[in-house]
Structure 1
């Protein structure tokens, strides 16, 4: 990416997620497909743009760690890693305060490892009391095409 394009992307990153990266200290590359634009930062697939929305990937650990989390039971993991949304009965804990439409990381209840990223369909308070239905819509998960593309590169820390 050219310098001006990099600055625009990094400005969008700061506005959307509150994370600042210095344009002169990172190398940003772009990979485009029919339905997705992938931004590699220092060789790692860090961000994706889908349907006009800038979204983080699981490889962008510096950003992922900042997101509130929804912990799920181990029985929910196989379905989530096939692209299923998070259902209320599988939620074991909620960490951080968030509103409807917030980006969240989905973590396993035992190790706390992020297995997916999604958009909350309810607030953190509502999820804690919810017993049925979808609570997080998944947009990226371990095993999807972005994960498989980037699993051989070093995460951004």
Structure 2
């Protein structure tokens, strides 16, 4: 893995990122160093005090699973059953039948943390395709587009 570019962000840019993160803005504490690194064949990654806690997809900045492990997840989550875990950690999108619980305030297009029901640990980060209510009620169809999961190159990233 080859780092193409690495630079620290200015306070103005950090404030913009925190605003975009919304519910997840506490990932970047005050007075922390934030670096943008561009890695070959991966999305851009933001290091917060040297840890890869954020990543940039085509149109948004989302937390990484390492950030999700540090946070208390109380909103914008979907819980999947044990049968869905193997599919999720191989990068599959999350289907409605595998979801046993979800935050009812979820709207389509929001960043969602997917957690497993046994230990309540994060498995993936994705974008909701339907509302939280529909995730629980539906018995077919895709509910969440999987963007980042346990075992993918960003999870394995060592700086």
> What TM-score results when the alignment is normalised by the length of structure 2?
0.82
Displacement after TM superposition at 1:67 (Å): 4.2
Shift of 1:32: 0.4
Q: Can you give the 5+ residue segments of structure 1 that lack an aligned partner in the other structure?
A: none
Q: Deviations over 1:16-47 (max 9, x none)?
A: 32425455x21122220245211110111011
Q: 1:22 to 1:7 in 2, by over 3 A?
A: farther
Paired residue for 1:50? 57
Number of residues of Structure 1 aligned to a counterpart in Structure 2: 149
- Give the Cα separation in 2 of the matches to 1:59 and 1:96: 24
CA distance in structure 2 between the partners assigned to 1:3 and 1:119 by the alignment: 26
Measured on the aligned residues, the alpha-carbon RMSD in Å equals: 2.2
Q: List runs of 5+ in structure 2 lacking aligned partners.
A: 1-6
What TM-score does the superposition give when structure 1 sets the normalisation length?
A: 0.83
What is the alpha-carbon distance in structure 2 between the residues aligned to residue 3 and residue 82 of structure 1? 33
Runs of 4+, deviation exceeding 3 Å: 20-23, 61-64
